[in-house]
Amino acid sequence: MYLTPKQVPEKFGYHPKSPFYYVLPLTLMNKLKKILFALLIAELGIVSMSALPIQAAIKQNPQQSITEVNSTYLALSWAEIWESLRRKKATAGSRKPGMPPICMIAPNKLHELDRDNSAQDGDIEVWSDRPFFLWQESMVGIEVRHRRSHELMWSESLDAEARSITYNGKPLQSGQVYYWRETLPPEEVSYQVSFRMMRVEERSKITAELAQLESKLKAMGEYGDKIALERVNYLIEQGLWSDALREVYSKPNLFPELIDEIETHDFCEGADSLPN
């Protein structure tokens, strides 16, 4: 039955804004309200319970991320690094009669002895602005020059026992190509190896990724030798052998066994020798 507001008794309920009023007893409306309220509470409870696994998953995400980093980076030792390095060969450069060929290891194009090296075109890239040089056989001195202008950037006399040194000369410019060689009298031509300083944007990318890697490892409670190992491994994966070796030799107390292996291994045995 439909009634106007004036016809509705006080014990009935109606909606004052509707042109027609469907009348229900107030007691029945109160019961319906209670039922609806109970259903609402029940629904909220179900939603809350269903959200618990999601919240738990969200809380576990950082731990899962750390686990992923752990499985990706931390299964590493200096012996595994050596296993990758020992298969590499450098090209030896010949010297004057009576002198053994000089084996210039880094920076140089290190390649697998049993693989075709013809695909290794282009210059060797170096990330660090202070390159690390490693060789075998005695050199009287070392020098670095700009490849195009032949400007002398740095030279250093060496002890007969020296087999490595870090650059300590004029600033080397990003994107420019230089070469290093043994310092010899002007009448003698020495074997030389070119390398290119990494461009700014490439260098920044490597720097940022190394910082990110270090932060993740520190968040896992890793410090010292483990971080150093992972930095070396990262640089190897980028093909930056010279920079990887720089990391190794900058921390001799962390890598004594690896350095011993490097210095007693003949990296040019069985490799081709190039003339001066």
29: nearest Cα among 8, 5, 7, 11: 11
pLDDT tens per residue across span 95-117: 666 677 788 999 988 766 444 44
pLDDT value at residue 246 = 95
In this predicted structure, which of 156-165, 172-181, 184-193, 236-245 has the lowest mean pLDDT?
Answer: 184-193
Task: Name the pTM for this structure.
Answer: 0.66
Over 50: is that where the pLDDT of 251 sits? Answer: yes
* Non-local CB neighbours of 144 within 8 Å, separated by 6+ positions: 131, 152, 153, 154, 155, 167, 169, 172, 178, 179, 180
Helix/strand/coil percentages in the chain, nearest 5: 40, 20, 40
pLDDT tens per residue across span 195-232: 999 999 999 999 999 999 999 999 999 888 889 999 99
Tokens standing for residue 131: 């390159």
